[in-house]
Structure 1
Amino acid sequence: MTSLFDTHAHYTDEKFGDPTELLKSLFSDSICGILCAGTDEATSIQSIELAKKYDKMYAAAGIHPHECSAAGEINSALDRIIPLFSESKVKALGEIGLDYYYDFSDKETQKKFFDAQLSLAEDYSLPIIIHDREAHGDVFDIVCSHPNVIGILHSYSGSAEQAKEYLRRGYYISFSGSLTFKNASKLLEAAKVVPQDRILVETDCPYLAPVPMRGKMNHSGYMHYTAEKAAELLGMDYDAFCETEVKNAKAIFGINE
């Protein structure tokens, strides 16, 4: 049976309520792995606890740009996150980055948190999961100041040229359901430049359900629509794409089983 690895999900979101039955069905059907990303201390802990219930579920811990101001003083906020990195289920530091579309946290605070968390990623040898919304230049500048860190551009929204710059630095590019949207011409071009050994897919659920499920609450069972589009753009057979995507996810997250 063809399987995929959902490299970015939020099953701790209140929209899911109790996701137990949904996750059981997903793991018995078409999903062989899920990375549940935290956005602050509380959701990072919740993601870890949820991941512990399933062999093929993993977690990321970090402070999302929306949560930087609410997190308080940066050193104490990160001191509370650091112990989570020792959990065996934690495979990445994230979701971190910059978001200039919303103003939940001011830009300078976001940049300080992002830069500090990149330093932690290097200290703890963790890949990062980057959230970049309308902040491409500043995200790239901060990433370039940490050349020993690699990770994933989650729910990629940049150009093909920007993707090439990240690829040169060892990053992976992950596409969400937005790849299937009618206005996705820029993303289609970006996907075409990603080599087979660096491409990933994700849901970012419960958000960004792909066409034809757009408007519904997203979950990993819908991810095949995104994978089908990505396979088409890369000129790959669907089954071969799925096998490659799972291999890529396990590589960046350091999963050996």
Structure 2
Amino acid sequence: MKKKSNKVATWLLTIIIGIIALIALFPLISLIISSFRPSTELMRDGITFSINWSELSLDNYLYIFTQAGEYWKWYGNSLIISGLIIIFSLFFSSMVGYALASYDFKGRNLIFLFVLIIIMIPFEVLLLPLYQLMIDLRLINTYTGIMLPLIVSPTAVFFFRQYAMGLPKELMDAARIDGSTEYGIFFKIMAPLMLPSFAAMAILQGLHSWNNFLWPLLVVRSSDLFTLPIGLATLLTPYGNNYDILIAGAVMTVIPIVILFALFQRYFVAGLTTGGVKG
């Protein structure tokens, strides 16, 4: 009886989770369906589940792949910027978080306090000081200007610090006895143990940088440096709203995030749960 009740509970839980997942997917499904609809129908009916199969076509995607040259320039900019931000953020944030967790030095708690304070400050509050800093450094309208404020994330530093506090310190002592340098200990011993945290932060940092709109909008002046969120926003003008191209382009933007999650999803939950409970 107990096994049967457990099976029934499992099936009920699975059905409930499946229903919740379908509800969560409704906006994405409606977006994908709408990407095959012509602009006139979108302007008349909006995004809806009412499907006129005779109106559906691949024209929007054919236009993107054959005539929308600027779209792929924006796509390339977003890929380059997001990729570099992920790499640099994981590299520097993990080193800072690891140092705060593994080394006892003067001012360590004060630095960690500053990290927590920065996390609590909304990024919008920092926009003007950061913008003035980019002007002083002459980094306006450059890749570096877009990426620099996002390279070291306080949230990532906090996460890596929490995760590194759960690593066995005996491995560090053993490596020192064997003559390993501190950098060798981190890159050869500790970093491989932190792979779940790297995977979790890669997804979160990638999602944030890929969807980032406000900061690139302030820094970028030339359309050649537009990222996807800014470029897609320019399709909506007072002289015409290209909803068909906008929606099809928005569907295409989901692909890199899905690929990123597919690559790291096996470590994602482990990295979040382990990093969230260590302290």
Structure label with greater radius of gyration: 2
TM-score range, shorter chain: under 0.3
Bigger relative contact order, structure 1 or 2 (CA pairs below 8 A, ≥6 apart):
2
TM-score normalised to structure 2 length: 0.21
Structure number having the greater helix percentage: 2
Structure number having the greater strand percentage: 1
